[in-house]
Amino acid sequence: MSKRGTVLHGRAREIVCNVDKYFESEKQHHLELIQRLKAASILPGPDGNLSLTRETYAIILQTLQNTSKVAERVHLATGINKNTLTRIRREHRDAQASCSKVTTPKKKPRSKSVVCDNFEITALHNIINSIYTVRKEIPTLKKIFAVAKEDLEFPGSRTTLRRILVESLGYKFKKCQSNRLALIQRPNIKAWRTKYLRRIRQNDALAADKKPVIYLDETWIHSHYTVKKCWQSSTTTGVRKNDSAGRRWIIAHAGGENGFIDGALLMFKSKIKTGDYHDEMNGANFTKWINEKLLPNLPKNAIIVMDNAPYHSMEASKAPNMTSRKCEMQSWLKEKNIAYEECYTKAELYEIIQRHKPPKDYIIDKIFNENGFEVLRLPPYNCDLNPIEYIWHLVKRRVADKNVLQLESEIENITLQAIASITKDDWQKEVNHVKRIEEEYWNREIFEDNDSFRFIINTGESSSENDDDSSSDSYGEMSGIEELDSD
């Protein structure tokens, strides 16, 4: 018997056709017997006649009538479901009409998974913020999906959008007072973002005396980076896109409302042809760039804004975790003069470590602090608060416009020209754009901080669990999500 989802090859489909044809022929023959049986009389049993009880008569009649259920009998005989049988029957008719055989069906092309870049992630953030702050409504998946379809031409399904919201933006669906599943963000991320925004607002309030804010980030570009579409006549071939990504160049830079920091550009060719730039922009390279190119050129007393990439977040003294060896846990506790019993298990030791775990001591932050700079770390999932992300988009667009031949020998020069073409006005435009986003987030925090904005976690079953907006709490494990207090 075939399993659901198993492809039936041509010969197997012919066998199914033969079984179906046999049962169909049997049905026609039995229909005649049924008519004769119905016309016969049940005699009391005189000599020479066959007597049937009413029960026996009913059994024979039912048996013959059951043979008319051809599709069900084929299913029982072969394990093929009725929908598959319907398709095979249609294929068989078409094959007979064309004097050919039933063939194995072609595989359906696998649909491409929807992947959002930083700018689409930013757009989704903006949609959610606008539902909060402009429409003064609680965002549900249905509302977000409708706006994303209309404004972004989002190509995926609701399930895909839900996955992106959970995995790429750090959100979670929880039941609210209306018993609908609304979108909320992890409390630790919200708190992180609020602290970040408060510090930025405090600095902005100083007006002319405010500290300069410098945003740093890394990106990559490959030699075959070019436009996807262009205008062309019917007689020209346009730009031919090379399907291979080609060699990659890793770029690191920093800037603010006055433009890129002079002398801070780092650009080098990756040794890994198809890898992510994170593979080679490691802690050593990043620290070297900070010390040699960035620190000497930063304005005094600047605030440095960066994300939490692994090489930004190296710790001077990292506390053990549950994957650490037991002896490492014990050594860490001894070093900190924290008492424990030798008989304690790893779980017990880790519980003690968690209670005494100091704040993270980042090596990069210490370097900046020792040189008179303050470090602000972007909250997770909030690349939309970093203007340099938009600047990278602008740089890559200008590279794509110029990279017609897609030669490795030219891409570095084209990229350097694109970076040099970024002006102070370009930076101010993107910084102002981020300021508007910061204001939207801040207004949203005020809106959510109001006592009227309350969520109730309903642990009982309800009709809304079958609603399109619903999402199981088990969907996509999100560590660090805290249950909201109920009324």
Continuous segment of H or E residues that includes residue 375: strand 374-377
Phi, psi for residue 172 in degrees, rounded to 5: -145, 145
Show the tokens assigned to 366.
Answer: 């210490």
- Please, which residues have CB within 8 angstroms of residue 300's CB and are 6 or more apart in sequence? 372
Q: Distance between CA atoms of 473 and 349, rounded to whole angstroms? A: 31
Domain extents in the chain: 10-97, 115-185+456-487, 211-317+358-446
Note the pLDDT of residue 274.
38
Q: Distance between CA atoms of 10 and 102, rounded to whole angstroms? A: 6
Q: Distance between CA atoms of 313 and 282, rounded to whole angstroms? A: 11
399, 235 Cβ separation under 8 angstroms? no
Q: Which CATH class is domain 211-317+358-446?
A: alpha beta
Note the pLDDT of residue 477.
32
* Residue recorded with tokens 């008492």: 339
Q: Distance between CA atoms of 46 and 179, rounded to whole angstroms? A: 75
Phi, psi for residue 45 in degrees, rounded to 5: 105, 40
Q: Distance between CA atoms of 484 and 456, rounded to whole angstroms? A: 7
Q: Distance between CA atoms of 338 and 359, rounded to whole angstroms? A: 16
Note the pLDDT of residue 138.
75
Note the pLDDT of residue 246.
59
* Residue recorded with tokens 């770029």: 251
CA angle, residues 219, 224, 226, in degrees to nearest 5: 85
Continuous segment of H or E residues that includes residue 267: strand 266-269
Note the pLDDT of residue 400.
85
Q: What is the pLDDT of residues 284-315, one digit of tens each?
A: 889 999 999 999 999 999 999 999 888 899 98
- Please, which residues have CB within 8 angstroms of residue 328's CB and are 6 or more apart in sequence? 320
Mean pLDDT of the chain: 77
Question: Using CA atoms in the order 165, 167, 168, 170, what is the torsion angle rounded to 10 degrees?
Answer: 70
Note the pLDDT of residue 13.
72
Q: Distance between CA atoms of 313 and 62, rounded to whole angstroms? A: 77
Residue whose C-alpha is closest to residue 471's, from 233, 166, 222, 223: 166
Reading the chain (487 residues) residue by residue, the pLDDT tens digits are: 444 556 666 767 777 777 777 777 777 767 766 676 666 555 555 555 656 667 767 777 777 777 777 777 777 777 777 787 788 778 778 777 777 776 666 666 666 677 776 667 767 877 887 776 666 677 788 888 988 887 777 888 888 888 888 887 777 776 655 555 556 667 888 899 999 999 999 999 999 999 999 999 998 887 766 655 444 444 444 445 544 455 778 899 999 999 999 999 999 887 754 344 445 678 888 999 999 999 999 999 999 999 988 889 998 888 898 999 999 999 999 999 999 999 999 999 999 999 998 888 899 999 999 999 999 999 987 888 999 999 998 998 898 888 766 677 788 899 999 999 999 999 999 999 999 999 988 988 887 777 655 543 333 333 333 334 433 333 333 322 233 333 3
Helix (H, G, I), strand (E, B) or coil at 353: helix
Note the pLDDT of residue 458.
36
Q: Please state, in angstroms and as integers, the Cα–Cα distance from residue 16 to each residue in 27, 104, 256, 434, following that order.
A: 16, 13, 70, 64
CA angle, residues 393, 398, 401, in degrees to nearest 5: 125
Spell out the long-range contacts of 324-330 with Cβ–Cβ below 8 A and sequence spacing 24 or more.
Answer: 329/353
Number of H helices, E strands in the chain: 15, 8
Note the pLDDT of residue 247.
73
Residue whose C-alpha is closest to residue 268's, from 251, 283, 281, 288: 251
Q: Distance between CA atoms of 276 and 289, rounded to whole angstroms? A: 19
